[in-house]
């Protein structure tokens, strides 16, 4: 499956996906990386790997729809069949989300539906939560909504700082996202209604895959 990546920054999740796609038998390849910021570090990673890159600044477009249309044009031209948001910090238009429905993944640093939006780790610590994690889900028009493909559990340790917790969750994301993409690209994970059904040896249940990580 040909994958387009959307980034805004360092691209660490993109790099984790790139590493996975180089493994023999992995069912996806990255064909294009698009960033809305010219200084996104992930662009250098893509260029070094010989992947097509584009900078499409949202500041150059009067509307969100026009910006999304420019991205869509590059994704289609590259032959992308699936999008992976990897630290992409823009809210997408309803039309773009609808066009790529069930063909766009996002990763969020919490166990959704808990702690949607920004400042996740501070809110997690403030709430006294003992277990947090990461979630890969299909994108819907509402922020951090959509059928869940896979989740990883991460402990919140006594005395955790935001930085320490963020690092621990990010390490889990780098394991989880390649796993989720493999499930989707191979056809093992599919959307039925507003839930993901996982088939094959990896599925202990018909629900989303949950990955406890010893971090």
Percentage above 90 pLDDT, the chain? 92
**Residue 143 pLDDT exceeds 60:** yes
> Is the same domain home to 130 and 76?
no
**Cβ pair 37, 57 in contact under 8 A:** yes
Q: How many structural domains are present in the chain?
A: 2
Which pairing describes strands 131-138 and 148-155: parallel, antiparallel, or unpaired?
Answer: antiparallel
What is the pLDDT, as a whole number, of residue 206?
A: 43
Asked if the structure places residue 142 within a domain, the reply is: no
Of the chain, the percentage scoring pLDDT greater than 70 comes to: 93
CB-based contact 211:176 (threshold 8 Å): yes
Average pLDDT of every residue of the chain: 94
Q: How many CB atoms lie under 10 A from the CB of residue 66?
A: 12
pLDDT score recorded for residue 215: 42
| pLDDT recorded at residue 207 | 47
Q: Return the minimum-mean-pLDDT range out of 95-104, 187-196, 205-214.
A: 205-214
Main-chain dihedrals φ then ψ at residue 54, nearest 5 degrees: -145, 140
Active site residues: 108
Answer positive or negative: Cα dihedral of 8, 9, 11, 13.
negative
Residue 152 CB contacts under 8 Å (≥ 6 apart), including other chains? 133, 134, 172, 173, 175, 176, 210, 211, 212, 213
We report the CATH number of the domain holding residue 123 as: 3.40.50.170
Do 33 and 86 reside in the same domain of the chain?
A: yes
Flag whether pLDDT at 193 surpasses 70: yes
User: Where in the sequence is the domain holding 44, given as residue range(s)?
Assistant: 1-100
- Same domain, yes or no: 211 and 118: yes
């Amino acid at each position: 499956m040909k994958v387009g990546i959307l980034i805004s920054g360092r691209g660490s999740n993109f790099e984790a996906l790139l590493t996975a796609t180089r493994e023999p038998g992995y069912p996806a390849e990255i064909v294009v990386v698009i960033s809305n910021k010219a200084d996104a570090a992930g662009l250098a990673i893509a260029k070094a790997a010989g992947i097509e890159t584009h900078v499409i600044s949202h500041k150059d477009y009067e509307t969100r729809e026009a910006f999304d249309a420019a991205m869509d044009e590059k994704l289609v031209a590259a032959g992308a069949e699936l999008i992976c948001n990897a630290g992409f910090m823009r809210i997408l238009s309803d039309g773009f989300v609808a066009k790529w429905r069930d063909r766009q993944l996002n990763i969020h640093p919490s166990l959704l539906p808990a702690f949607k939006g920004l400042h996740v780790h501070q809110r997690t610590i403030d709430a006294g939560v003992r277990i947090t994690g990461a979630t890969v889900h299909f994108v819907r028009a509402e922020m951090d909504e959509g059928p869940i493909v896979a989740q990883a559990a991460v402990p919140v340790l006594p005395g955790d700082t935001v930085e320490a917790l963020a690092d621990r969750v990010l390490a889990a994301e780098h394991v989880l996202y390649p796993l989720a993409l493999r499930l989707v690209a191979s056809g093992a994970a599919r959307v039925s209604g507003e839930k993901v059904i996982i088939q094959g040896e990896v599925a202990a249940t018909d629900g989303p895959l949950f990955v406890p990580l010893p971090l």
